[in-house]
Each structure stands twice: as C-alpha cells, then as structure tokens.
C-alpha cells in the first residue's frame, strides 16, 4: 500500500547538488521529515549522508543520520523487489535537539550535505561495484550467494557464502581485474526505470547492477583497490576493499 506522503529525492535528480530548499513536514521525536532533500538515506548497504538544516533565522540543526520509511514494493517483474517512494527523516545531533521544540510545520529551510562525506561514500560505493564485478568474473559461485554488503566512507565489503574458499590466487586475479576497470577510467551512468523512477540501474561497459545508491560518473577517481579476505567461519567469506589512492578532489559538487 502506498503511504500518503513522500519526500522528493533531489539526490536522484542531481547527485552533485550540495543543498536544496525544503519545507518541514513533521517533527517525529529527534527526527525531522522534509518534503524534499539532497541527503541520501542509509540504504542498499550505503551509510547515510550527514549535513545540516538551516532555518530562516540562520540557526542550523546538524543531522547525523538519514532514514527512509514507509516505502512500498516497486512491483516490477524485471527488477529486484525494492521499496520505493516513502518519506525521508533526518536525525538531529543531540546538541542541536533543543531547537526542535520551537520548529513549525511548513517552515522553509535549506538542507545541505557534508560533501566530503558524500564524495567518499560515492567513491566507496562505486568501488564496491567494481569489486563485485571482478568477483563475478573470477568466482561467479560467490556472487550468486551474496549475503550482504556495507559501504562506508573508507572501505566497502561484501560477504559471500562459498563451498570452496577464495584462494590467494583468486584474490590476486580479482584485484587485478578491479584495478583494470579503474585504470581504464570507464564512464558510469545510472538510469531510472521508465515507470518507477526510484528503480535505478548502474551501468558500466556492458555490466549493469540494479542499485539506488550514489556513485561516481567514471571509475578513475577510485585510484586503486586493495582487497582483503577474511573468513567468517565455515563457508562464509568477507572481501573488503580500501582505496589508498582515492582522488576525492576530482568529485565536484555545486549549490
């Protein structure tokens, strides 16, 4: 069932926008619901943006988490069963929560994100797809049994169920393939499903991954992937990657 409100996801219309105007829709405890936002909520393994909501009197409330709620099933036959639409809530920093009591519904605000953090998350998310593609080439048995992923600012990781362990030779080949994608600075596009705009597909060369996260528009800025393997017990392996040569300065945002 569709929820009667939804937040406009400005981060999908323009992933390089650092701020937008919005209206306060509801105060829910320590969380503020806005009618539109540039802030990406936690989802698809990607950590949430941080940022601030600036009031007409110039006071600002920092937010330290963003979450999506009350989405409904995309209901598409040709796409994974994701939750779309819904509302987006911003968790206010404890030190700024004293401002919540005086807020009025309908107040016009400016919401802006920490662009360094977003750049790092977009880079990490892009890197995670390159890792995933490389694992798919060398260990297709692992990607079909993906258990989960976590995309943080300085690293990204996947957990896989496997019958045979990922050997150091596998790891070397996976790393070389992933770094090949980066060296070729391949362009990346993301497109929306014609009927459901929140159903998005990441594309690079002939590869495609259904994904609603934020990404770079080319692979080169990732710099280099360093991949590590860890056993999580019988039949479970974790591959994580770091990006010691990340070129965050190449990722530009605008107002």
Contact residues for Zn ion, defined by CB under 5 A = 125, 202, 211, 213
| Cβ 220 to Zn ion shortest distance, Å | 17
| Cβ 65 to Zn ion shortest distance, Å | 20
Residue nearest to Zn ion (CB): 211
Q: With contact defined as beta carbons under 8 Å apart, do 153 and 47 qualify?
A: yes
Residue 84 or 91 with smaller CB distance to Zn ion: 84
DSSP 15: T
- Mention every residue, 6+ apart, whose C-beta is less than 8 A from residue 65: 42, 48, 50, 90, 91
Give the residue from 19, 5, 82 showing the smallest Cα distance to 51. Answer: 19
Residue 9 or 125 with smaller CB distance to Zn ion: 125
| Cβ 255 to Zn ion shortest distance, Å | 25
Residue 109 or 178 with smaller CB distance to Zn ion: 178
Q: With contact defined as beta carbons under 8 Å apart, do 45 and 146 qualify?
A: no
The alpha carbon of 66 is separated from its chain's Cα centroid by a whole number of angstroms, namely 12
The H or E element containing residue 13 is helix 10-13
| Cβ 231 to Zn ion shortest distance, Å | 26
Residue 31 or 202 with smaller CB distance to Zn ion: 202
């Amino acid at each position: 069932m569709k929820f009667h409100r939804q937040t406009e996801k400005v981060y999908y219309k323009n992933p390089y926008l650092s701020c937008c105007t919005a209206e306060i829709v509801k105060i829910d405890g320590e969380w503020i619901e806005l009618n539109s936002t540039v802030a990406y909520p936690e989802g698809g393994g990607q950590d949430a943006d941080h940022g601030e909501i600036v009031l007409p009197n110039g006071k600002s409330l920092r937010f330290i988490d963003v979450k999506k709620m009350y989405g409904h099933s995309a209901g598409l036959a040709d796409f994974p069963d994701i939750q779309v639409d819904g509302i987006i809530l911003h968790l206010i920093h404890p030190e700024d929560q004293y401002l919540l009591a005086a807020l009025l519904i309908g107040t016009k605000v400016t919401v802006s994100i920490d662009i360094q953090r977003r750049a790092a998350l977009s880079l990490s998310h892009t890197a995670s797809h390159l890792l995933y593609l490389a694992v798919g080439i060398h260990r297709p048995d692992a990607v079909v049994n993906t258990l989960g992923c976590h995309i943080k600012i300085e690293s990204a990781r996947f957990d896989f169920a496997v019958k045979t362990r990922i050997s150091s030779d596998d790891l070397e080949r996976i790393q070389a393939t992933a770094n090949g994608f980066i060296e070729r600075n391949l362009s990346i596009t993301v497109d929306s499903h014609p009927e459901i705009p929140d159903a998005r597909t990441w594309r690079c060369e002939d590869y495609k991954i259904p994904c609603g996260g934020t990404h770079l528009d080319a692979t080169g800025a990732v710099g280099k992937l360093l991949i590590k393997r860890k056993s999580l017990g019988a039949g479970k392996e974790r591959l994580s990657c770091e990006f010691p040569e990340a070129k965050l300065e190449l990722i530009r945002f605008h107002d």
